[in-house]
Structure 1
C-alpha cells in the first residue's frame, strides 16, 4: 500500500501544549482534528482546507481523536458547514455530542477526583471556576465508533490513556495518532480525563498495542501526531516508556517508609505532585495531581507502593522490594 496524500494545517499557539495539527486527506474527503474554537483558528482551517484541495463544501468526514477542545473545538462547526459526518470513539463521543450536560458532569467528576487526590479546596475551586466553557453547541450529531470500525475508508483504532476514548486513524500507510504519541513531550495521563481509574496502566497498554501492531512493520506507517508534524513512532514509544519508569521511581521515592508514624500515615498524590512538579495552579494543578495519582496507583498495583488510606488517597512505599515488574521494552522495574 502507498500512503495517501496527507496535508497538515498548523494552529499556532493554540493550546498550552503548543501548535495543534489538523490533518487533511483530500482523496478521502477527510479532516482529522479540526482544531480549537475561535475566529482565528477557523480562518486558518478554512484557508488550509482550500489550499489542500478540499474546500469546506467538499469535506465528507470529520474525525476527532479525543474530546479536548484544542482538537474538537471546531469540529461541530466544520461538520455543520460541510454537512459532513462527525466521528469520535464511543467513549469520548458524548463529551462532544452532549457538550453542555457532559461538561457539568465532568466538572463535578473533576472536583471529586481532585478531593480524592488530596488537592486543597481552594485550589479545586480555582480549577473549576477557571474551566471556561468552549464556544461549542450544547448538542450536535456525532457518529460513535468502536475499535476496528471503518471510517472514510480507513480504520479506527482505540488508543485510550490520555482520554478514555482516544482514537487513532489508519489510512493505508498513514497513522494519525492524535495525542497518543507526541514528538517532544509525553501526553498527560490522569488529569487529562478523570474518568480513567487506571490511567497509566491503560496508556501503557495502548503503547503496547501500537508497538505490537506497527513496530515490526516494514516499512512502518508514517505517524502524524496531534501536536507537531511527524513522530518517530518506535523511538518515541521507547522514550515515553523510559520516562514513565523514571516518574514511577520518583513518585515512590517521595513516599515514606511503611512504618511511617505520621497521623494520618502516608502521602497524598497532591503532596507527591509538589515534589515532582513544584508549585502548580489552575489546569497545571489538575494535570500534575492526576499524573502523580496515576503513577502512584500503578506503583501500588504492581507492588512498589501500598495504599494506606482513601478520601484522600494516601500511599507509603511497599513493605519489601518487589520482584521485577512487567517488561515493556524499557519499562522494566527492579527494586525501587
Structure 2
C-alpha cells in the first residue's frame, strides 16, 4: 500500500449488533471515513485515535460518510465543524444528515407507514416509534452530495445501495472502504434499514456484483475495510451472503399459502421465521421478510394480493434450488 493510501483504523465501543464501528483515516490526505457514533464518549475515542496517528483534528480536510445511519454518521458534523473540513456523502443519503431534524421526523413517519403496510400491529408500530430516540446531532449542517464516479483526489465514489438508498463504497485502488455493504460477521439488513427503498434485495445483490467487479478490475486484490471489524475476505463473505439470501427467499416463500387465499403479510412471515420481535428488531425483521417476499415475486415464486396491506401467496410450479434462486436473466447483472 502506498503512502497516499496508508490506512489507520480507530475502533469504537460497540454501538450496534454488528459490533464496534470502524473509523478509517488516510493521514496523508487528511481523509476520515465514517467518524463513528454521536456522543462525547465516541468523540473522545475519535480524538484520541487521531492523536495516536499523529493527525490533529484541525488537519482533517475531508470527512466521508458511507451511509446515513447514526453509528457511522453521528460524529461527522462535529468533526467537520471542528476541523473546518468538507463533509461528503452520496446525494441520496445526504439530506438525512444535512437536514437531520426535519428528515428524522419524516423518516419516523415513513417507517411507521411502511410497518403498517407490512402488517405490523399498531401497538408494535407505536413501540417502534416511541423507541426511536433522536441522536445528539445538529438539526442542520452542510453536506456535499456525491454521485457515482465522483473523485476525492484519487479515490473514486461507487454508489452501493441496498442497505440504504445512498450507501457508497470508496475505491482507493489498493483499498476498498465498504461501510456496511459487506460485513465480516453479519449479513447487512435490507428492507428495514431504509424504508425509502423498494426492491431492496435486488438492489443490494447488484451492489455485491459491483463490489466483485471492483475487486476484479484491479491488478492486485485491494485491501477490504468494512464498517464493523477490521478486515473481510470479500470473495468468501459475498458467497456466504448470497447463499443466506437465497435460503431466506425460499424460507419466506415456503411460509405462503396457495393461490386463492387471502395471503400472508411480511409481519406474519417474519414472526414465523424469527419469532417474537419488538423495537428495532420488529422493523428489521418485517423489512427483511418484505424484501425477500418482493424478490420471490420478481422470480415468479410468489404473487402479491391486492389490498392496502401487503399480502402474498405462493405460485405453483417448480421451485429452484438455493443455488439458482438469485439468478435473474432479465437483469443486466448476473445476480439480482
TM range (shorter): over 0.9
Aligned residues of 2:173 and 2:218 also touching (Cα < 8 A) = no
Aligned counterparts of 2:173 and 2:240: Cα–Cα separation in 1? 26
Aligned residues: 327
2:278 is equivalent to residue 281 of structure 1: yes
Check the 8 A contact 2:155/2:170 in 1, yes or no: yes
Q: How does 1:133-148 map to 2 (within 5 A)?
A: 133-148=134-149
Q: Which residue does 1:100 correspond to in 2?
A: 101
SS at 2:207 equivalent: helix
Gaps of 5+ in 1: none
Answer whether contact 2:209 2:335 (CA < 8 A) is retained: no
Matched with 1:183 is 184
Measured in 2, the distance between the counterparts of 1:157 and 1:302 equals 27
Correspondence list, 1:122-161, <5 A: 122-161=123-162
**3-state SS in 1 of match to 2:15:** strand
Deviation per CA, 1:158-212: give whole Å up to 9, x if none. Answer: 0000000001111231100000000011000000000001110100010111112
Counterpart contact for 1:115–1:311, Cα < 8 Å: no
**Which residue in 1 is equivalent to 2:304?**
307
Q: Name the structure 2 match of 1:296.
A: 293
C-alpha distance 215-254 of structure 1, shift in aligned 2 (>3 A): farther
TM-score (norm 2): 0.94
4+ long deviations beyond 4 Å? 322-326
Matches of 1:317 and 1:303 in 2, distance apart? 9
Query: Secondary structure of 1:62's partner?
Result: strand
Given that 2:33 and 2:65 are in contact with CA atoms closer than 8 Å, whether structure 1 keeps it comes out as yes
Return the offset for 1:319.
Answer: 2.6
**Distance 1:332-1:99 versus aligned 2 partners, 3 A rule:** closer
Aligned residue for 2:331? none
Alpha-carbon distance, 1:332 to partner? 8.2
Within the candidate set 263, 267, 271, 1:266 is matched to 263
Structure 1 position 152, deviation (Å): 4.0
Q: Distance in 2 between matches of 1:140 and 1:7?
A: 27
Alpha-carbon shift at residue 234 of structure 1 (Å)? 1.4
RMSD over aligned Cα atoms:
1.7
Name the SS for the 1:211 alignment partner.
helix
Q: How many angstroms does 1:17 deviate by? A: 2.2
Q: Could you say if the C-alpha distance between residues 117 and 7 of structure 1 is closer, same or farther in structure 2, counting changes exceeding 3 Å?
A: same
Match of 1:320 among 303, 317, 320: 317
d(CA) in 2 for partners of 1:288, 1:227: 21
Deviation at 1:294, TM superposition (A): 0.3
| 8 Å contact from structure 2 (residues 246, 325) kept in 1 | no
Partner residue in 2 for 1:203: 204
Tell me the TM-score normalized by structure 1: 0.94
For residues 19-98 of structure 1, the aligned pairs below 5 Å read 19-98=20-99
Are the equivalent residues in 1 in contact too, given 2:18–2:185 (CA < 8 A)?
no
- 1:221 CA displacement: 0.8
Q: Distance in 2 between matches of 1:127 and 1:319?
A: 36
Note the 1:205-284 alignment, pairs <5 A. Answer: 205-215=206-216, 217-260=218-261, 265-284=262-281
How far has the Cα of 1:259 moved from its partner?
A: 4.0
Equivalent pair of 2:115/2:286 in contact (CA under 8 Å): yes
How far the C-alpha of 1:16 sits from its partner, in A, is 2.8
* Greater Cα shift, 215-224 or 138-147: 215-224
